[in-house]
Structure 1
Amino acid sequence: MKNFIKKYIQNLTDILQNIDENSIISIKNALEETINKQSKIYIIGNGGSASTASHMANDLSIGLKTRGIKNFDIESLNDNSSICTAIANDIGYENIFYLQLKNRLKENDLLIAISCSGNSPNIIKAVSYAKDINCKVLGITGFDGGNLKELSDINFHVQTSRGQYGLVEDVHLILDHIIFSYYVETYNKKSLN
């Protein structure tokens, strides 16, 4: 077990050392554009990525709003289990995000799609719809990036071997915490001056 722990931590450390800092800056800028344009941010993901989507929506909305830092209008579309399961049961799982976005997503909005494989049919269908209406897509991917990496206007990618969900999901959540912590620390420094 000790050897596994050391190896896992080393792999995570190696991945973090190679994060594309410019993609994080692009993400921050895209988030702030939604305030300037008075538009909305939608986040989607399955499984562990759904959890990250919920966590990100929490941090970047209420987490920043209650501190008086930013007022992003964010919604995680996987958080309403009644809607997701009704669409999945009645129409098909590949439609759970697409149907929530249809005739609601606007060109100035931002769609954040989180997928380790980048190939989940429900993610790709929603992203394709966003691209059809010229909405900006931020893809957060792992493994080789899949189709989502290619379709994204901005991509935060965690390159790993296929199936290394733990490492990819760890780094995706760290991305959220980097952005959240940046805003909190920047705001606190301004408050002290």
Structure 2
Amino acid sequence: MTTDKNFLIDFLDAQSTCISSLSKNVDQISQIVKILISARNSNKIIFTLGNGGSGSTASHFVSDLLKTALTKNQKRFKAISLVDNIPVILAWSNDVSYDEIFSEQLKNHLSKGDVVLAFSGSGRSKNIIKALKFAKKNGAICIGMTGSSGGLINNVCDVCIKIPSSDMLTIESQHLTLCHCITNAIRHKGKPVFKYE
């Protein structure tokens, strides 16, 4: 029987292994940074979405884009988290379907050249897939972050990073690490407005 201490060590080792493996995705990470900076410079909107813990990552990343990623003498990001307007989500969910909560919001806002960034551990969430398909059909750039299987997200996105794990907590932790990596890369390309020490 595994002791609590060994269990904790195993979990932390799994995080370390995943982070180390992400260096293999450096080209994809760099591509995402370029896409986001291009969207910023072209006044395009970046939309994020996800369910559960992935939803909180979507909200967190928008917070980082709107403040932490600010650099001097550069335009500001235009970013919207589709998980943050609870009344709108409840209305679409109650009156139509939970599967439509993100795609219907995109119908209000999305323009050609905008970016849609989806977080999904399984890569199979219907509301995520529907939103990505709508976005792709209407000329958006689609980015996905998912788990080892990739699910259906891998087939819809222009860029998709798959965390080499099937453990949801590990996947979600690594998605947030990727977001912070991307935010730091954006800050590194200019003079950050805010310094964090």
Partner of 2:177: 174
1:123 aligns with 2:125: no
Counterpart Cα distance in 2 of 1:138 and 1:180? 15
Counterpart Cα distance in 2 of 1:180 and 1:4? 32
1:34 aligns with 2:39: yes
Secondary structure of residue in 2 paired with 1:94: helix
Q: 1:185 to 1:170 in 2, by over 3 A?
A: same
Partner of 2:30: 25
Using the size of structure 1 for normalisation, the TM-score is: 0.91
Please give the per-residue CA displacement for 1:99-137, whole angstroms capped at 9, x wherever unaligned: 001153111100001101111000000001011112110
Partner of 2:109: 104
Q: Is the 8 A contact 2:65 2:79 kept in 1?
A: yes
Partner of 1:15: 18
Q: CA deviation at 1:157?
A: 1.3
Unaligned runs of 5+ in 2: 193-197
Amino acid at match of 2:119: I
Secondary structure of residue in 2 paired with 1:79: coil
Amino acid at match of 2:149: D
- Percent identity over the alignment is 34
Partner of 2:195: none
Q: 1:115 to 1:69 in 2, by over 3 A?
A: same
Q: Is the 8 A contact 1:145 1:159 kept in 2?
A: no
Q: Which moved further from structure 2: 99-108 or 22-31?
A: 99-108
Higher RCO (CA < 8 A, seq sep 6+): 2
The Cα RMSD (Å) is 2.1
Unaligned runs of 5+ in 1: none
Using the size of structure 2 for normalisation, the TM-score is: 0.89
Residue 158 of structure 2: which of 134, 147, 153 is its match? 153
Counterpart Cα distance in 2 of 1:186 and 1:2? 41
Q: CA deviation at 1:69?
A: 6.2
Counterpart Cα distance in 1 of 2:69 and 2:61? 11
1:143 aligns with 2:155: no
The count of residues paired between Structure 1 and Structure 2 equals: 189
Extract structure 1 runs of 4+ deviating beyond 6 A: 66-69
Counterpart Cα distance in 2 of 1:187 and 1:136? 24
Q: Is the 8 A contact 1:137 1:152 kept in 2?
A: yes
Partner of 2:98: 93
Counterpart Cα distance in 1 of 2:12 and 2:69? 30
